[in-house]
Amino acid sequence: MRLTTLRTPNGTRAARIDGDTAIEIDSSDVGALLSDPAWRDRGAAADGPAHHLASADLAPVVPRPGKIFCVGLNYRGHILEMGRDLPENPTLFAKFADALIGPSDPIALDPASAAVDWEAELAVVVGTPVRRASEAEAAAAIAGFAVLNDVTMRDWQYRTLQWLQGKTFEATTPFGPYLVTPDELPGGTRPTLDLRCAVDGETVQAANTSDLVFDPVALIAYISRIVTLNPGDVIATGTPGGVGHARDPKRYLTDGATLTTEIQGLGAQQNTVRATAGVPA
């Protein structure tokens, strides 16, 4: 099943994707839908108003997650290429819901940063409350997967050893277009999906999610040892090599650039970068 969150004249609505049509579900968004233990049955049975997907206005697939965890340094090939040892534990940081935008919304290029970078990522969405999960419980807690780009202000990220301040600028993180349930994907809860990111049509990142050091099941098991993960919570699983900050010379997003992020089976985002007014750094 594929789920999305539509923007409509009456507010946001959760919807099931059938081919090129979005069928409304009686819920305000996908996050609200997931809070109902019967969300799968409700999604499958929905027969609300239909919308042409090509012209639909899509919000972040889960607009207001209670928690957004992000993972650093999690692609095996990229870590080894840098000459580093594989980590024993995940590197975790947070992002806030104000950073999220839809899969076609403009990315806000804040004047406070001169080093705005891309990070294509596989996002895991939690569907069941889980705490101190076993491997089986962690797998069962996964509602599905989505595309996310963890757009990052590098000059803020590296001001200190803590990364959060460069990771959660408002209106910078495309999330969607869809949540896709594991049964529709190769590898299921440990999906093996091709990931690609392009800037103005040029491919800058390409990898497969099978290269993750800590896969989605392992991440849910690990994070649930710290906190309870609830329906609608999100884990961004990390980005592969190819980011702009690691290039020589360094390369960053500029006003008017088009950022495309796609993952096999999960759809694609296309976001235009737009300069915003504000207080300079």
Query: How many domains, in total, are found in the chain?
Result: 2
Distance CA 118, CA 245 (A): 9
What's the whole-model pTM score?
Answer: 0.96
CB burial class (10 A; 0-12, 13-18, 19+) of residue 41?
Answer: exposed
List, for residues 242-275, the tens digit of each pLDDT value. 999 999 999 999 999 999 999 999 999 999 999 9
- For residues 128 and 223, membership in a common domain is answered with yes
**Which one-letter amino acid corresponds to residue 164?**
L
pLDDT value of position 178:
97
Distance CA 175, CA 241 (A): 20
- For residues 3 and 77, membership in a common domain is answered with no
Confidence of residue 81 (pLDDT cuts 50, 70, 90): confident
- For residues 139 and 70, membership in a common domain is answered with yes
- For residues 2 and 134, membership in a common domain is answered with no
Residues with Cβ within 8 Å of residue 36, at least 6 apart in sequence: 27, 42
List, for residues 156-214, the tens digit of each pLDDT value. 999 999 999 999 999 999 999 999 999 999 999 999 999 999 999 999 999 999 999 99
For 244, the 3-state DSSP assignment is helix
End-to-end CA distance of the chain: 44
- For residues 86 and 40, membership in a common domain is answered with no
> CA separation (Å) from 190 to 49, 71, 97, 138, 254?
34, 16, 25, 11, 35
For 159, the 3-state DSSP assignment is coil
Which structural domain, as residue segments, surrounds residue 97?
60-275
- For residues 98 and 230, membership in a common domain is answered with yes
- For residues 180 and 142, membership in a common domain is answered with yes
